[in-house]
Amino acid sequence: AANDRFVLEIPKVELHMHIEGTLTAELRWKFAQRNGIKLRIAEHGPELNSLEEAKAAMDLLRPDPSRVNNDEERFQFFEAYYEGFECLKTREDYYDLAMHYLEHAAKMNVRYCELFFDPQGHTSRGTSWAVMMEGFREAQKTAETRLNVKSAWIMCFLRDMSLDSAMEHYKAALPYRDIIVGVGLDSNEEDRPPVLFEEVFSLARRDGFKLTMHCDVDSKNTHEHIRQAASVVAGKGLDRIDHGMNAAEKQDLIELIQKRDLGMTICPWSYLRHTTYAELGPKIRTLYDAGIKICINSDDPAYMEDCWVLENLLLVKHLCGFNDKDIAVLAKNAINASWATPTVKNEIL
Ligand code: ADE
Ligand code: ZN
């Protein structure tokens, strides 16, 4: 619609996007063909023999608000998400994966992004750090020079793996720290509170990395996990919170986040796996009205009916009744919550 032009054209910053969450059926098919790999949607699922079969399998993973709070659905998402890693083998695959996102980002006027990647999911399949990081580095350079999209990487630890594994991967990443701006935590949150990773997050802060962490909306200990992320881990709490939307339900958490002036990365489409439309708008509105630095992001676009940051902004515009001024505030929040240098921040404005 004509009145959505402002949302399309405004310069954007995206801070919560899993590069492996952009593995669409088309990309999976392309990489599987190129590498001579059998494609499956889950480890023990049937082989997918055409692009059409791959698309149909991905379609079944879309959020469906009529099936909210379904544990089975969460399980299926993670199974498919990690199975997708199987088709990535070469430096060229990692380059193409990153470029696919960065080209789309350029079309939406994303000018800077901080992209998550999950190294443990790749090394456990025998991929070397050099293959991964040199592919990413090359894409980053190409995007900056040819597309005017700047980027940085956030290395996420898988919280359903051990602290030892996180520490090992942290150390292995240090040769690539020139392109890694921060450290995060993702994957299945059940029984995996933030404090379990205290040691690696404290070390990363001492080494100068920025810190963030997922606090998913369907976590059983959602409020306690948000409290730990905001005020306990690495001495005083992290630099940003990913999701954390349930803070809207607790005045003390709202005040804590306000006091620490933490940015929060909100991914509206993602929550439709666990939340109804009716709940979603008011929660986001509560955080926004409290003056918290929330920004809007896409999380795993390939799993969300191809909803990228633009579509997520349009969704909150509709659900929260945001006008163009509010959209500008959200875009500004993303710049302020980002870990870009002051020079880069100024260029975006
Ligand atoms: N890793 C990738 N997508 C994720 C999500 N939605 N929640 C937790 N971990 C993830
Ligand atoms: Zn995420």
Residues with CB under 6 A from ligand 1: 18, 21, 81, 186-187, 214, 216, 270, 299-300
The yes-or-no verdict on residue 23 having pLDDT over 80 is yes
Give the H or E element holding residue 349: none
CA distances 15 to 39, 110, 147, 153, 297, Å, are 30, 11, 18, 10, 7
CA of 64 to the centre of ligand 2 (A): 18
Residue 90's SS3 state is coil
- Distance between CA atoms of 29 and 102, rounded to whole angstroms? 19
pLDDT, tens digit, 9 for 90 and up, residues 173-230:
999 999 999 999 999 999 999 999 999 999 999 999 999 999 999 999 999 999 999 9
pLDDT at position 2, please? 58
pLDDT, tens digit, 9 for 90 and up, residues 89-107:
999 999 999 999 999 999 9
Outline where DSSP puts E strands in 149-199.
150-158, 180-186
From the CA of 273, the nearest ligand is: 1
Encoding tokens for residue 317? 């515009």
pLDDT, tens digit, 9 for 90 and up, residues 229-241:
999 999 999 999 9
From the CA of 186, the nearest ligand is: 1
Residue-by-residue DSSP string for 196-219 = GGHHHHHHHHHTT-EE--EE-TT-
Place 67 in a pLDDT band, splitting at 50, 70 and 90. Answer: low
CA of 19 to the centre of ligand 2 (A): 10
Tell the residue nearest (CA) to atom 1 of ligand 1.
Answer: 187
How many Å separate Cα 35 from the centre of its chain? 27
Question: Dihedral (C-alpha) 319, 325, 327, 328: value to the nearest 10 degrees?
Answer: -170
Per-domain residue ranges for the chain?
Answer: 2-348
- Distance between CA atoms of 236 and 239, rounded to whole angstroms? 9
Q: Give the architecture-level CATH label for domain 2-348.
A: Alpha-Beta Barrel (3.20)
Whether residue 334 contacts residue 15, with contact meaning beta carbons closer than 8 Å, is answered with yes
What is this model's ipTM?
A: 0.98
Tell the residue nearest (CA) to atom 5 of ligand 1.
Answer: 187
CA of 263 to the centre of ligand 1 (A): 18
Interhelix angle 324-337/309-320, nearest 10 degrees: 130
